[in-house]
Amino acid sequence: MVVAAWGLKAAAQRLSVRRNQLPGRTPKQRARATSSSSKQPVVRFIHRPERDYKPNNPKWLVEAAAWRPEHIPQELLLECPALTAFKEQAAAMFTMELGSSECRQQLFALDEAFPHYLNHGSYGATFRLALEVQSWYRQLMEQEPVRFMETVAMAGLVKAVADVAGFVGASWQDVVPVVNATAAVNAVVASLQLRSGDLLLMSNATYPAVRSTLARAAAAAGAGLLELSFELEDLMDEERILGCFRAALAAGGRRLKLAVVDHVVSFPPVVLPVAQICSMCRDAGVPVLVDGAHAVGSLLDLALPSLGCTYYTSNLHKWMCTPKGAALLWVHPSRQDEVKPLVVSHGYGLGFRGEFLWQGTADITPWLAVPACLAVLQALQQQRVIDYNHSLVKQAVQLLQQAWSTRMVLGSSRDGTTAGMAAVEMPWPLSIPHSSSSSSSSSSNGVCRAGEAGEGGSYSGLDNAPAAAEAAAATAVIVAVNGVAADAGGVGAWEYPSAAAAAAINKYLREVHCIEVPVACIGGRLFVRISAQIYNSISDYQALADAVLGLAAAAAKQQ
């Protein structure tokens, strides 16, 4: 046994010697091969990665990050044939009657069986052309994924971002792509070097997702939140709004590290005087993040740098009618070195634009379809679109107020500017039909819910809406009469308007009358937030007025 083992060992040694003597091997290579089994693994400490770590950025991304829009290789800028054809016939768009059935059918993909879509503000509605262009790019992506992702996609993205920057009056160097405004807010807040005792300023009207972002960041750093509490009456007067911010800045003092200001409040959709607010914050030494989720496409001549803010973000899927997944983040040049995307990828170290251009493998076709949306808006003329939407909102407000005999409206600035939306007070009491809610899941108090107020939820669909309406009216039950709770027959009972009542009414309008409109309870009153887009006409708001009057009439009969 010992002799056999010794023989095997000797044979292995002879084989190793022969391998080292193979033709073409240098003495140095033979020495390395001989000693490889005894080498220890090599490790390297990088104590200062911000200085000593060198990322392996792919060449194609380095080139894309350095492109000026006018220097993008033309062979990489592919255009969908459908977009080319549209541009050739764009002149016909100006003669299209806004608000007509032709406008809705040709430009949007909305369901014709659901005629009254009054909630453009929540998720928008994408132009048909943009959907076609997005589908074309997706087909290219799957036909040759590597070439597409590393050449065509990057070229198209850089150009699309530059186009949008021009649309909002900004430099292409200061705008980067994000998937939505919430992602942009998170990136900005993460860039702050918060410490214990610092404060972040928000309001009770700040979008809930943004409020939660600020709360998490503050909690992690031992910082705090300073909440500005608006009353409904405050939001109806520009001077009162400015006075509230002035008081908040005085209360926070030097502890304030960021103020988050809505350009257009989500609910109620009030257009805030952001330029004046930014001026006050700048004088107090407080950076400002403007959440303009509803602004781009609904307000004319934004010119972001002139607002005086430090950061600005907006969704494009709302009022620019792009596919979901396209939003912008504008950052003042003085802060761009600090702001990083939350996802670190191949763009690490390439600067503000380079890091945001590539945040891992993702479908960026929503952004590649943005130029198609700009082409549609240009053909329709943005001024004409905004004028139509603002005029329709005003007409709808007058119609609803007269029909419902209510007075409170929120959504217009002092000069009459709106963002294509308004919150109109609803009448009370209302009767909630039993049959429209009993078939759905209910909460602990028996109230059926249909999505969050202010965002509208989703439509489940009713093919027999007229028949359902008749059946619902026949089985209606009273939920409140003159502030006194009544037997609701298992549907729910409220002494006063409530969030539960708002959700039930929202669900009823959707499922029985095919009306999509958010309903909310604010300050003890019910409001609907109506949106106006070029696929809407005054008849949509008449349908809403009549449906709510039916609920009020049913309630009156029960008194």
Domain residue extents for the chain: 147-375, 384-557
Element housing 466 (H / E)? helix 465-474
Tokens standing for residue 275: 């330029």
Q: In angstroms, rounded to a whole number, what is the distance separating the alpha carbons of residues 232 and 208?
A: 18
Contact 322, 129 (CB under 8 A): no
Q: In angstroms, rounded to a whole number, what is the distance separating the alpha carbons of residues 206 and 402?
A: 31
**Per-residue model confidence (pLDDT) at position 30:** 57
**Per-residue model confidence (pLDDT) at position 34:** 55
Residue 371 has phi, psi (to 5 degrees) of -55, -30
Among 287, 300, 316, which Cα is nearest to 134's? 316
Tokens standing for residue 389: 């939407």
Beta bridge partners of 421: 531
Is pTM, for the whole model, over 0.85? no
Q: What's 263's DSSP letter?
A: S
Contact 529, 454 (CB under 8 A): yes
How many CB atoms within 10 Å of residue 143? 9
Helix axes 81-88, 370-380, angle to 10 degrees: 10
Contact 137, 80 (CB under 8 A): yes
- Cβ burial, residue 519 (10 Å; 0-12/13-18/19+): buried
365 Cβ contact partners less than 8 Å away, ≥ 6 residues apart: 134, 137, 138, 141, 323
The class level of CATH for 147-375 reads alpha beta
265 Cβ contact partners less than 8 Å away, ≥ 6 residues apart: 205, 235, 272
Q: Distance of CA 310 to CAs 186, 288, 334, Å?
A: 15, 5, 9
Stretches in the chain below the pLDDT threshold 50? 2-3, 6, 22, 437-494
Residue type, 234: D
Model confidence pLDDT, tens digit, residues 32-48: 655 555 677 788 898 99
Model confidence pLDDT, tens digit, residues 386-395: 999 999 999 9
- E strands, 269-322, in order: 288-291, 311-315
Contact 504, 491 (CB under 8 A): yes
Helices (H), 176-258: 181-190, 208-221, 238-252
Dihedral in degrees, nearest 10, Cα atoms 345, 346, 351, 356: -50
Q: In angstroms, rounded to a whole number, what is the distance separating the alpha carbons of residues 168 and 184?
A: 17
**Per-residue model confidence (pLDDT) at position 11:** 57
Q: What's 377's DSSP letter?
A: H
Model confidence pLDDT, tens digit, residues 214-227: 999 999 999 999 99
Q: In angstroms, rounded to a whole number, what is the distance separating the alpha carbons of residues 414 and 424?
A: 17
Q: In angstroms, rounded to a whole number, what is the distance separating the alpha carbons of residues 175 and 326?
A: 13
Dihedral in degrees, nearest 10, Cα atoms 423, 429, 432, 433: -130
Q: Distance of CA 149 to CAs 143, 213, 341, 365, 559, Å?
A: 11, 31, 19, 11, 66
Dihedral in degrees, nearest 10, Cα atoms 261, 265, 270, 275: 20
Contact 328, 175 (CB under 8 A): yes
Contact 357, 64 (CB under 8 A): yes
Q: What's 152's DSSP letter?
A: I
Q: In angstroms, rounded to a whole number, what is the distance separating the alpha carbons of residues 308 and 284?
A: 13
Question: How many residues make up the chain in this entry?
Answer: 559
